[in-house]
């Protein structure tokens, strides 16, 4: 796999490491994706090129003539982040072969939101990892097309109200469950796939470094609350990213060369199931789910809990810690 021994660092080390994603961007108050960008850049091991699809983080961080990025950075179209990364990686290989690049590593990171990953960008992503290009793809998942007006995506969860799945008399929000994108990437049989949450910042930084060190494609799915789209308290975004893990809405795990393993925060829940919180606690602090807390739509809360439990049990089974669930999502 080519992965080195786990990188050791302290909170002081990270605090003293220069920021490579700078302040001054135009992100909304409480924007978790902006925090995610900063943490990702704390994990770099050397020269790095970032390519980023159209989306919130691209728009707020690079309004001409300003930029928050202190590394080489390229904007690409909504659907092209992985294709762009594959071209950059191929060019680096050729330049090394010609002796024009002397660095041992020049890492390539592709960054996209859920729209540019689950939907518009999945074809380019699938092709790039099938070809085996050596790059890290980071999905910052705020669960809708937030930059263009909070439209639903394949990453929007069941029951969430968006501008294209509005809760009302006709439908109670989005009717379909969230697409299991990380498992889809595991099915590509790539060396490294992982999930991360900004509350567990150390886990996130370690996983970014692992994704950079692996030889071949790596995929990191990062949970990233959006106060504007989720209608949540901007001061609670990081707490919300913890609650998603504690309810098993967004468990933390890695898949290394096809072998699943739980990360520490989710492993604690697996070992002590009484610590698993009900999904209702997570839904209740977000305005996009407010309509579920009515007699008409209460059944959907039960359905979201059922799907969450089922997917959690499936994950435990993959990690060798549980029995195979008997029922499907549907």
pTM of the model: 0.96
Cα–chain center distance at 219: 9
CATH architecture of 11-318: 3-Layer(aba) Sandwich (3.40)
pLDDT of residue 176: 97
Pick the closest to residue 104 from 96, 112, 115 (CA basis): 96
pLDDT of residue 198: 98
Q: How far apart are CA 176 and CA 154, in angstroms?
A: 9
Q: How far apart are CA 264 and CA 262, in angstroms?
A: 6
Break the chain into its structural domains and give their ranges.
11-318
Residue with tokens 């999502």: 329
Say if CB 266 and CB 63 are below 8 A apart: no
What Å distances lie between residue 148 and 269, 289, 317, 325, CA to CA?
A: 37, 20, 38, 38
pLDDT of residue 140: 98
pLDDT of residue 4: 60
For CA atoms 175, 119, 215, 102, the dihedral sign is negative
Q: Where are the beta strands (DSSP E) in 79-135?
A: 107-113
pLDDT of residue 7: 83
Per-residue pLDDT of the chain (330 residues; tens, 9 = 90+): 555 667 889 999 999 999 999 999 999 999 999 999 999 999 999 999 999 999 999 999 999 999 999 999 999 999 999 999 999 999 999 999 999 999 999 999 999 999 999 999 999 999 999 999 999 999 999 999 999 999 999 999 999 999 999 999 999 999 999 999 999 999 999 999 999 999 999 999 999 999 999 999 999 999 999 999 999 999 999 999 999 999 999 999 999 999 999 999 999 999 999 999 999 999 999 999 999 999 999 999 999 999 999 999 999 999 999 765 555 655
Say if CB 147 and CB 56 are below 8 A apart: yes
């Amino acid at each position: 796999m080519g992965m080195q021994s786990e990188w050791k660092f302290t909170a002081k080390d990270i605090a003293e490491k220069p920021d490579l994603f700078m302040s001054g961007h135009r992100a909304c108050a409480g924007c978790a994706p902006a925090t995610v960008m900063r943490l990702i850049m704390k994990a770099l091991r050397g020269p790095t090129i970032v390519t980023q699809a159209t989306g919130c983080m691209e728009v707020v961080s690079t309004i001409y003539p300003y930029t928050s990025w202190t590394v080489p950075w390229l904007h690409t179209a909504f659907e092209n982040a992985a294709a762009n990364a594959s071209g950059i990686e191929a060019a680096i290989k050729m330049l090394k072969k010609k002796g024009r690049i002397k660095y041992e590593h020049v890492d390539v990171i592709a960054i996209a939101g859920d729209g540019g990953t689950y939907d518009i960008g999945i074809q380019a992503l699938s092709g790039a990892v099938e070809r085996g290009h050596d790059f890290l793809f980071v999905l910052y998942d705020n669960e809708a097309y937030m930059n263009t007006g909070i439209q639903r995506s394949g990453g929007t969860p069941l029951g969430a109200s968006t501008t294209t799945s509005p809760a009302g008399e006709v439908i109670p929000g989005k009717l379909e469950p969230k697409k299991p994108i990380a498992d889809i990437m595991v099915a590509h049989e790539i060396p490294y796939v992982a999930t991360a949450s900004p509350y567990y910042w150390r886990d996130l930084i370690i996983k970014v470094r692992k994704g950079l060190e692996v030889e071949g494609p790596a995929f990191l799915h990062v949970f990233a609350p959006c106060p504007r789209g989720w209608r949540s308290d901007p001061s609670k975004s990081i707490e919300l990213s913890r609650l998603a893990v504690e309810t098993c809405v967004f468990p933390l795990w890695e898949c290394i060369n096809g072998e699943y393993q739980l990360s520490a925060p989710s492993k604690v829940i697996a070992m002590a199931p009484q610590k698993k919180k009900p999904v209702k606690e997570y839904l209740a602090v977000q305005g996009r789910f407010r309509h579920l807390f009515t007699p008409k739509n209460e059944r959907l809360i039960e359905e979201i809990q059922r799907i969450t439990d089922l997917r959690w049990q499936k994950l435990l089974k993959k990690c060798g810690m549980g029995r195979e669930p008997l029922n499907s999502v549907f």
